[in-house]
Amino acid sequence: MNPAAKKPRSRHDPTTEPGWVRWLLILVTVGYLLAMLVLPTLSVFIEALAKGVDAYLKAIDDEDALSAIRLTLFVAAIAVPLNVVFGVCAAWAIAKFEFRGKSLLITLIDLPFSVSPVISGLIYVLLYSIHGWFGPTLDALGIKVVFSVTGIVLVTIFVTFPFVARELIPLMQEQGTDEEQAAISLGANGLQTFFRVTFPNVTWGLLYGVLLCNARAMGEFGAVSVVSGHIRGLTNTMPLHIEILYNEYDFVGAFAVASLLAMLALVTLALKSLLEWRYADRLAGGARH
Amino acid sequence: MSITVTSLVKHFDNFAALKGVDLSVRPGEFLALLGPSGSGKTTLLRILAGLEFPDAGQLTIDDVDVSEQGARDRQMGFVFQHYALFKHMTVAQNVAFGLRVKPRRERPSGVEIKERVDRLLQLVQLEQLGDRYPAQLSGGQRQRVALARALAIEPRVLLLDEPFGALDAKVRKDLRRWLRGLHDEMGITSIFVSHDQEEALELADRVAVMSEGRIAQIGTPTEIYRSPANAFVCEFLGNTNRLACRIEKGGAKLGEQFFVAAVPSDAPALPGVAYVRPEDCDIHPEPNGPGLKARVLKIHAAGPAVRVELRRLESDEIIEVHLPPGSDAPEIGRDVALTFRRVRIFPAAGA
């Protein structure tokens, strides 16, 4: 009998947790996701269709609802392109050039993320309302910012500011400047270098950033709520309209409009996953967020 | 196409990359900038290309001062160490790039661009790969695309930054032989940077050895190998033995032999270092004969030369000697006398 031979232990990979730990973790995660995300989202659709498809369509077809939808689309259509232009410029400057104050600029770009959206809205009211800093000047020029569409657009721009820039900066920094230097050595000027070399390298990262920016622009509530004045049919975006309907106990109406936003969220998620799956190496650092 | 550099100085924050470089490049020559990391060779190359601007000094091409000109206008082809190919363009599009971005009046027609690209791809032996993307090519293939792309604009000078640094040994040897062939065929002035001395000595017409922001010596490979001008070049190139000695009356004695040192003959006595290449030593088995006394430590007989390792008796310095293959080597532990055929002596550092 060989004294060195022992009964072999249960065969599990020594570098991972034993089976039961893994299953427990998975169960806890799935359970949490179900309770916190899946069920609430499902319930939006269930409640929206609680009184049948007709009631659902009537709620969406309502004039105030339609105007809220139009306003949401309008705000996104302005905020997103502006932030794309800004984001690309900022990322280009930060990634390809050396200048003093670069870290400060990066920190400022991240500011809207760290500030509560309600505070963001409040800042705009403090600055632009009739009693605010710029109030008298704007009033003299006949420009109304607070309680108007202008204010909503401005505040949405502020809140969705960082998305495109944050996606592009690490991507461009990782790509470095070699290709641009090659382009210059071959005789290209600044614009040619940008459009033929820099820009094509970041298209997928840009698309990803636009997607996130758009989702946020359409769904913003806190900041817009402070600035808009809730004038039905004029300064109500979809999230605000949903709140009004809910406060009036029109649950089907509220959930019906909410389901539109939920569908937007699902479509955004699907597109995001698609981009990550196909182009992971060309998104910021290949990271999947 | 001659290039002249005068007193070039370049600082990066606190680091002095170039401390006053003078260089004259002859038309059509294949020049190597050789040196250890940090010697300034890549900085010099990039200044020549216009990718960096010097802090002081002058750069003229064909007697025209181009110190203020940017890379766009210098018409130089630059091949980067890591190729810097445009990832999102095919091989053919990469090569055509320099032609497509020319200003409208200078730009050739689409048909002509395609013809030129095809000819270049043939030149670098990549005709079948025009539609591939860089990610689908091997390292050697990518390097050839980078070369074709640089040649497309018909540059006056070709600048290569460690062109074979990122390739493995066999590919490197093949590619460098091929590059030299290409240079001979095209006659274009070429300057390349390398830290690999074997490569530089094999390929170049002239080699500029750089150290700490200055050119230590410039000459043909034979000149700098056989007649190094200072201690740095001696030690940097090839194998060399260092023997401490005392310089008196303009030279030093090793064993019974007197060798002239690189100092004026009336200089006062000072400590020096004698540099001897392993192949310039002879071993005499009689220990009491004329020569430097040393003891045999090890013998490696397998290889292109018989390598004998000895210890100098008076100073414990290790000396390596290469004998022709098949020579009779003395036994290990035996005391022998060494004589030398060629020695360079310089004052010791700090003297």
Helix A52-61, helix A251-279: angle, nearest 10: 80
Instruction: Please state, in angstroms and rounded to a whole number, the distance separating the CA atoms of residues B6 and B257.
Output: 42
- Note whether A142 and B47 are within 8 A (CB): no
The verdict on a CB contact (< 8 Å) between A184 and B51 is: yes
Instruction: Please state, in angstroms and rounded to a whole number, the distance separating the CA atoms of residues B165 and B75.
Output: 24
Domain ranges of chain A: 17-48, 52-282
For residue A94, what are the CA distances in angstroms to A87, A101, A202? 10, 10, 14
pLDDT digits (tens, 9 = 90+) for A19-67: 888 899 999 999 999 999 889 889 988 888 888 888 888 888 888 888 9
* B82: closest CA of chain A, how far (Å): 9
* A193: closest CA of chain B, how far (Å): 9
Residues of B with CB under 8 A from a CB of A: 49-51, 70-72, 75-78, 80, 82, 84-88, 97-98, 101-102, 149-150, 152-153
Instruction: Please state, in angstroms and rounded to a whole number, the distance separating the CA atoms of residues B158 and A201.
Output: 27
Q: Is the pLDDT of residue A204 over 90?
A: no
Cβ contacts from A onto B, under 8 A:
60
Helix A39-48, helix A251-279: angle, nearest 10: 130
Q: Is the pLDDT of residue A1 over 70?
A: no
Instruction: Please state, in angstroms and rounded to a whole number, the distance separating the CA atoms of residues B70 and A220.
Output: 47
Contact with chain B for residue A197, Cβ under 8 A:
yes
Burial (CB count within 10 angstroms: exposed 0-12, middle 13-18, buried 19+), residue A243:
middle
Chain A residues in contact with B149 (beta carbon < 8 A): 182, 186
The verdict on a CB contact (< 8 Å) between A187 and B101 is: yes
Contact with chain B for residue A191, Cβ under 8 A:
no
Q: Say which amino acid occupies A36.
A: M
Q: Is the pLDDT of residue A289 over 60?
A: no
Give me the residue from A178, A186, A196 closest to B153, CB to CB.
Answer: A186
The secondary structure of residue B248, as a DSSP letter, is: B
* A181: closest CA of chain B, how far (Å): 7
Average pLDDT value over all residues in chain A: 86
Instruction: Please state, in angstroms and rounded to a whole number, the distance separating the CA atoms of residues B308 and B239.
Output: 13
Instruction: Please state, in angstroms and rounded to a whole number, the distance separating the CA atoms of residues B84 and B76.
Output: 16
The verdict on a CB contact (< 8 Å) between A178 and B71 is: no
Q: Is the dihedral of CA B321, B326, B332, B334 positive or negative?
A: negative
* A198: closest CA of chain B, how far (Å): 9
Instruction: Please state, in angstroms and rounded to a whole number, the distance separating the CA atoms of residues B48 and B42.
Output: 10
Does an H or E element contain B337, and which?
A: strand B335-340
Q: Is the dihedral of CA A199, A201, A207, A212 positive or negative?
A: negative
Is the pTM of the predicted complex or chain greater than 0.95?
A: no
Per-block mean pLDDT, blocks of 10 residues, chain B (351 long): 89 90 93 92 92 90 84 88 92 94 89 93 90 91 93 92 86 87 90 90 94 93 90 88 88 86 81 90 83 89 88 88 85 89 85 50
What is the pLDDT at residue B66? 85
- Note whether B330 and B336 are within 8 A (CB): yes
ipTM score: 0.81
Instruction: Please state, in angstroms and rounded to a whole number, the distance separating the CA atoms of residues B23 and A269.
Output: 61
| SS3 (DSSP) at A101 | coil
Contact with chain B for residue A200, Cβ under 8 A:
yes
* A184: closest CA of chain B, how far (Å): 5
- In terms of CATH architecture, what is A52-282? Orthogonal Bundle (1.10)
A101: left (phi over 0), alpha (psi -120 to 50) or beta: left
Residues in chain B: 351
What is the pLDDT at residue B350? 66
Q: Say which amino acid occupies A253.
A: G
Residue among A172, A185, A191 with most chain B CBs within 10 A, to mutate: A185
C-alpha angle B127-B133-B135 in degrees, rounded to nearest 5 = 120
Q: Which residues, including other chains, have CB under 8 Å from residue A112's CB and lie 6 or more apart?
A: A120, A158, A159, A160, A161, A162
Give me the residue from B49, B72, B85 closest to A187, CB to CB.
Answer: B72
**B157 DSSP β-pair partners:** B76, B189
The verdict on a CB contact (< 8 Å) between A183 and B97 is: yes
Closest to A170 measured CA to CA, from A275, A283, A81: A283
Q: Say which amino acid occupies B319.
A: I
The verdict on a CB contact (< 8 Å) between A183 and B101 is: yes
Chain A residues in contact with B101 (beta carbon < 8 A): 183, 186-189, 192, 196
Contact with chain B for residue A3, Cβ under 8 A:
no
Instruction: Please state, in angstroms and rounded to a whole number, the distance separating the CA atoms of residues B44 and B59.
Output: 11
pLDDT more than 90, % of chain A: 30
Closest-approach residue (CA) in chain B for A188 = B101
Closest to B289 measured CA to CA, from B341, B241, B335: B335
- Note whether B299 and B328 are within 8 A (CB): no
A91-95, A273-277, B36-40, B226-230: least confidently modelled range: A273-277
For residue B270, what are the CA distances in angstroms to B228, B255, B259, B349? 20, 18, 15, 11
Instruction: Please state, in angstroms and rounded to a whole number, the distance separating the CA atoms of residues A289 and A273.
Output: 10
| SS3 (DSSP) at A10 | coil
pLDDT band (50, 70, 90) for residue A4: low
Main-chain dihedrals φ then ψ at residue A53, nearest 5 degrees:
-65, -35
Chain A residues in contact with B94 (beta carbon < 8 A): none
Contact with chain B for residue A201, Cβ under 8 A:
yes
Q: Is the pLDDT of residue A97 over 90?
A: no
Tokens of B14: 């606190």
The verdict on a CB contact (< 8 Å) between A182 and B71 is: no
* B50: closest CA of chain A, how far (Å): 8
Closest-approach residue (CA) in chain B for A184 = B72
- Name the pairing type of β-strands B306-312 and B318-323: antiparallel
Rg (CA), chain A: 25
- Note whether B272 and B262 are within 8 A (CB): no
Q: Which residues, including other chains, have CB under 8 Å from residue B263's CB and lie 6 or more apart?
A: B247, B250, B270, B272, B347
What is the pLDDT at residue A113? 87
Instruction: Please state, in angstroms and rounded to a whole number, the distance separating the CA atoms of residues A242 and A13.
Output: 52
Q: Say which amino acid occupies A152.
A: I
Instruction: Please state, in angstroms and rounded to a whole number, the distance separating the CA atoms of residues B45 and B243.
Output: 36
Give me the residue from A179, A185, A187 closest to B86, CB to CB.
Answer: A179
The verdict on a CB contact (< 8 Å) between A178 and B76 is: no
Tokens of B39: 């010697």
Contact with chain B for residue A174, Cβ under 8 A:
no
C-alpha angle B150-B184-B122 in degrees, rounded to nearest 5 = 50
Does an H or E element contain B22, and which?
A: strand B15-25
The verdict on a CB contact (< 8 Å) between B80 and A181 is: yes
Closest to B150 measured CA to CA, from B203, B181, B177, B186: B186
Chain A residues in contact with B84 (beta carbon < 8 A): 178-179, 181-182
Burial (CB count within 10 angstroms: exposed 0-12, middle 13-18, buried 19+), residue B166:
middle
Closest-approach residue (CA) in chain A for B155 = A186
* A273: closest CA of chain B, how far (Å): 22
Exposure on the CB side of residue B312, measured as CA atoms within 13 A: 19
Closest to A259 measured CA to CA, from A42, A75, A96, A33: A42
Residue among A179, A184, A186 with most chain B CBs within 10 A, to mutate: A186
Closest-approach residue (CA) in chain B for A203 = B88
Contact with chain B for residue A182, Cβ under 8 A:
yes
Contact with chain B for residue A188, Cβ under 8 A:
yes
In what side-by-side order are the strands of the sheet with B281-284?
Answer: B281-284, B335-340, B292-300, B306-312, B318-323
First to last CA, chain B: 42
What is the pLDDT at residue A287? 45
